[in-house]
Amino acid sequence: MHSFVTADMSLRDRIGIDMGDRMPVLEAVEWASEHDVRFLDVTLERRLEDGLEDDASAIRAACASGDVHLGLHPSSAVNMAETAPIVSGATDEYLLAYIDAAQTLGAEWIVVHGGYHFTADVDKRFDASMSRLATAVDRAAEVDVSLLLENHNPEPDRAEVHYIPASPSECHRYFDRFDASRLGWAFNPPHANLHELGIEGFQDELDVARCGEVRLNDNRGDQEEHLPPGDGEIDFAGLFDRLEPHYDGHYTLAFGTPEAMLEGREYLLEVANG
């Protein structure tokens, strides 16, 4: 999988932030540059319909001058395994709009999701998700944008709705179908921490070489919380020790406020440096 990290980048440089839709894209890029954040994920929910062409040149210029690498992160609430008439077509348009937006803005990657299914329709939903991603993968290849599939958080067995992929075996259903050069992995250790195999289990069963982004926050092992690192149970020192010898890509923090994520970056640097 293509890495967006250059040889001269330190671990500090490699730890980025997911700004979500907390501020407009141009403002987010300028903020990242001001705070020496080299990697930035943003969500475009407020701008997909309005268009981005008016701001595109300014955003590209800000990324270049601030040495900021930009990625996009669509909402996981939009079900990429959707099968309902009318809604299904809108879901297709939503994902392709993100790919077009990435081309317009010069974004280098898009974190994508498998969607979610109900207990009785697992295979049907997987088929829909695979088909939708196949179309997206082809389109992304045309415009040279990397797609990174995120492993989701598992839900309790008794839950009616379940995200996919939430286990290594479910990840393999996607990764066995799509070449690594066309669909990478956005490794989410906090999600893996909620699975019975744990973070190390995901690292053992999936190829870290496929990974283009590692997403970091903390939890207590029983539910999705997006806590600052150190406030939950995840062993980040162990995570870095196991991951760094094999991974040269970037990390993305996803919790709290932008200021809290800057503090989290400092915490993780202390942990990683022993």
Which pLDDT score is estimated for 264? 98
pLDDT in tens, 161-188: 999 999 999 999 999 999 999 999 999 9
pLDDT at 152 over 90: yes
Which long-range contacts does 123-127 make (Cβ < 8 Å, 24+ apart)?
Answer: 124/83, 125/81, 125/83, 125/164, 126/81, 126/164, 126/173
Least confident range from 33-37, 85-89, 99-103, 115-119: namely 115-119
Query: What pTM did the predictor assign?
Result: 0.96
Report residue 46's pLDDT band, with 50, 70 and 90 as the boundaries: confident
Close Cβ partners of 78 (under 8 Å, ≥ 6 residues apart):
91, 94, 95, 113
What percent of the chain lies above the pLDDT cut of 90?
Answer: 89
Q: Please state, in angstroms and rounded to a whole number, the distance separating the CA atoms of residues 25 and 250.
A: 20
Whether the pLDDT of residue 23 is over 70: the answer is yes
Q: What is the mean pLDDT of the chain?
A: 95
Q: Is 80 exceeded by the pLDDT of residue 64?
A: yes
Angle at the Cα of 28 (from 26 to 29), degrees rounded to 5? Answer: 65
Structural contact between residues 250 and 16, judged by C-beta atoms closer than 8 angstroms: yes
Predicted confidence band of residue 37 (pLDDT cuts 50, 70, 90): very high
What is the arithmetic mean of pLDDT over 94-104? 95
| pLDDT band, residue 118 (cuts 50/70/90) | confident
pLDDT exceeding 70 applies to what percent of the chain? 99
Query: What pLDDT score was predicted for residue 245?
Result: 95
Topology of domain 11-272, CATH? TIM Barrel (3.20.20)
The average pLDDT across 220-245 equals: 97
Q: Is 82 exposed, middle or buried (0-12, 13-18, 19+ CB in 10 A)?
A: buried
Contact 78, 93 (CB under 8 A): no
Distance between CA atoms of residues 272 and 250, nearest Å: 14
Q: Are 25 and 47 in contact (CB under 8 A)?
A: yes
Q: What angle do CA 137, 44, 63 make, to 5 degrees?
A: 85
- Asked whether residue 85 carries a pLDDT value surpassing 80, the answer given is yes
With a cut of 90, say whether residue 45 has pLDDT above it: no
Say what the pLDDT of residue 47 is: 76
Residue 144 DSSP SS3: coil
Average pLDDT over residues 190-213: 97
pLDDT band at 157 (very low <50, low <70, confident <90, very high): confident
Residue 2's pLDDT band, with cuts at 50, 70 and 90, is: low
pLDDT value at 26 more than 70: yes
Query: Is residue 165 reached through a cis peptide bond, with omega within 30 degrees of 0 on the bond before it?
Result: yes
Q: Look at residue 1 in the predicted model and tell me its pLDDT.
A: 59
Q: For the chain, how far is it from start to end, CA to CA, in angstroms?
A: 29
Give the residue-averaged pLDDT of 94-123.
Answer: 94
The token pair at 29 is 């890029």
* Whether pLDDT at 53 is above 70: yes
Distances (CA, A) of 53 to 15, 17, 47, 273: 29, 24, 10, 42
